[in-house]
């Protein structure tokens, strides 16, 4: 496969809270994303596609695209799981500061603007009946759409859906979206008020902290572009505290809570970032204590959506 050329740094405005990370922050950002990736894939038995959404176990995608790849946790795993595949990993930030497997090709670009020019032939309308096999077999977007305003997130999903391999008689490509949703979290934080304060700040840090539950609707709306998708949704409601009944889910939930706290502390430490307003060390300590208390009922919701192109 001929990889598209890298684009010059995008000029676009974007709202990601960790844009232009300092060198000293890169290691922590990468470690927190690796840790949460490892926790989810361990929960899913080593699989990149949650088994509840996997309509073709054993399927081997050969063209894979990851949008907003960060430090490459998922792309590197995908390269090992599918050694025959070519993986294009895109991010608006600099390339991951670690060696990438030979089948991962990084492109620095803005996914809200640059996809049609990066993949012009795949972006053209291609009827399912054409038999054409251009496009990607698997496209993955995780913890990125929460950082985009809703209309932009929706537009990225529409563009990504058009980049999926059309079915051409067999199965088409799969678009896998993963993102959080704080609706439940705000309702069930804990005995004190620190949880509610914490999640209110979190709402300001994200462009849409409740995107998770909207993803399946966004995917279904792709039919107005003539892209028909079979959409499956799976939601994990994980305890943030260590008192859950389900051991595996509690292990995942506590790992996810650690990820949220590491994210918040990184935001708090970035004193020059106006979005850090409100994430004080004091509030973070209070929220940690609230989650550690035996009465805590805090839960985190993460939504997974798999959309197969028909
Ligand atoms: C929370 S990180 C998630 C990284 C990765 N998906 C993961 O799960 O490990 C969000 C990533 O989205 C990237 N991002 C945000 N806005 C973007 C845009 N407009 N175009 C490309 N990447 C973007 C950020 O640079 C960051 O690496």
pLDDT tens for the chain, 310 residues: list them. 444 444 333 334 435 778 778 888 899 999 999 999 999 999 999 999 999 999 999 999 999 999 999 999 999 999 999 999 999 999 999 999 999 999 999 999 999 999 999 998 776 655 444 444 579 999 999 999 999 999 999 999 999 999 999 987 667 999 999 999 998 777 666 677 888 889 888 988 899 999 999 999 999 999 988 899 999 999 999 999 888 899 999 999 999 999 999 999 988 887 655 555 688 889 999 999 999 988 888 899 999 999 999 9
Q: For position 7, what pLDDT does the model report?
A: 35
Q: What is the pLDDT of residue 2?
A: 42
pLDDT of amino acid 271: 66
143 Cβ inside 6 Å of ligand 1: yes
Residue 13 is predicted with a pLDDT of 47
Which pairing describes strands 299-309 and 138-142: parallel, antiparallel, or unpaired?
unpaired
DSSP reduced 3-state for 177: strand
Angle between helices 247-269 and 194-205 (to 10 degrees): 70
103, 83 Cβ separation under 8 angstroms: yes
Q: Nearest residue CA, atom 1 of ligand 1?
A: 143
Q: Long-range CB contacts (< 8 A, 24+ apart) of 57-63? A: 59/171, 60/84, 60/85, 61/85, 61/136, 61/137, 61/138, 61/173, 61/174, 62/86, 62/137, 63/1, 63/135, 63/136, 63/137, 63/138, 63/165
Question: Does 308 sit in the ligand 1 pocket, CB within 6 Å?
Answer: no
Please, how many CA atoms are within 13 Å of residue 86, restricted to the half-sphere of its CB? 9
Strands 138-142 and 174-181: parallel
Which DSSP string corresponds to 65-103?
EEES-TTSHHHHHHHHH-TTSEEEEEESSPPPSSPPPTT
Q: Does 15 sit in the ligand 1 pocket, CB within 6 Å?
A: no
Is the distance from the beta carbon of residue 239 to the nearest atom of ligand 1 less than 6 Å?
no
- Can you list the domains of the chain with their CATH numbers? 23-309 (3.40.50.150)
pLDDT at 232: 97
The pLDDT value recorded for residue 285 is 93
Q: Which two tokens stand for residue 289?
A: 């204590």
Nearest residue by C-alpha to atom 12 in ligand 1? 68
Q: What is residue 279's predicted lDDT score, i.e. its pLDDT?
A: 86
Q: What is the pLDDT of residue 148?
A: 95
- Structure tokens, 260: 């949220």
Q: Please report the pLDDT score of residue 16 as a whole number.
A: 76
Residue to mutate (ligand 1; options 10, 16, 94; most atoms within 8 A of CB)? 16
Q: What is the pLDDT of residue 121?
A: 75
First to last CA, the chain: 24
If you take atom 14 of ligand 1, which residue's CA is the nearest one?
A: 68
């Amino acid at each position: 496969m001929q990889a598209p050329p890298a684009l010059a740094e995008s000029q676009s405005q974007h709202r990601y809270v960790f844009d232009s990370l300092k060198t000293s922050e890169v290691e922590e950002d990468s470690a927190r994303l690796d840790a949460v990736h490892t926790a989810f894939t361990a929960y899913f038995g080593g699989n990149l596609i949650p088994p509840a959404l996997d309509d073709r176990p054993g399927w081997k995608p050969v063209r894979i695209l990851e949008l907003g790849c960060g430090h490459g946790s998922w792309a590197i795993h995908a390269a090992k799981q599918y050694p025959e595949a070519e993986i294009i990993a895109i991010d608006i930030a600099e390339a991951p500061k670690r060696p990438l497997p030979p089948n991962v090709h990084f492109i620095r670009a803005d996914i809200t603007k640059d996809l049609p020019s990066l993949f012009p032939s795949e972006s053209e309308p291609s009827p399912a009946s054409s038999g054409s096999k251009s496009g990607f077999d698997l496209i993955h977007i995780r913890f990125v759409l929460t950082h985009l305003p809703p209309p932009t997130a929706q537009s990225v999903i529409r563009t990504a859906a058009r980049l999926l391999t059309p079915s051409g008689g067999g199965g088409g490509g799969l678009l896998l979206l993963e993102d959080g949703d704080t609706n439940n979290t705000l309702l069930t934080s804990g005995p004190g008020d620190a949880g509610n304060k914490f999640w209110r700040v979190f709402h300001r840090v994200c462009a849409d902290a409740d995107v998770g539950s909207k993803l399946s609707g966004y995917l279904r709306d792709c039919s107005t572009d003539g892209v028909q998708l079979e959409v499956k949704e799976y939601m994990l409601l994980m305890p943030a505290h260590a008192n859950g009944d389900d051991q595996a889910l509690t292990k995942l939930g506590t790992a996810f809570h650690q990820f949220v706290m590491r994210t918040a502390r990184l935001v708090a430490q970035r004193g020059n970032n106006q979005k850090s307003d409100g994430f004080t060390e004091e509030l973070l300590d209070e929220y940690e204590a609230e989650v550690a208390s035996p009465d805590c009922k805090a839960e985190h919701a993460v939504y997974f959506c798999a959309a197969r192109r028909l």
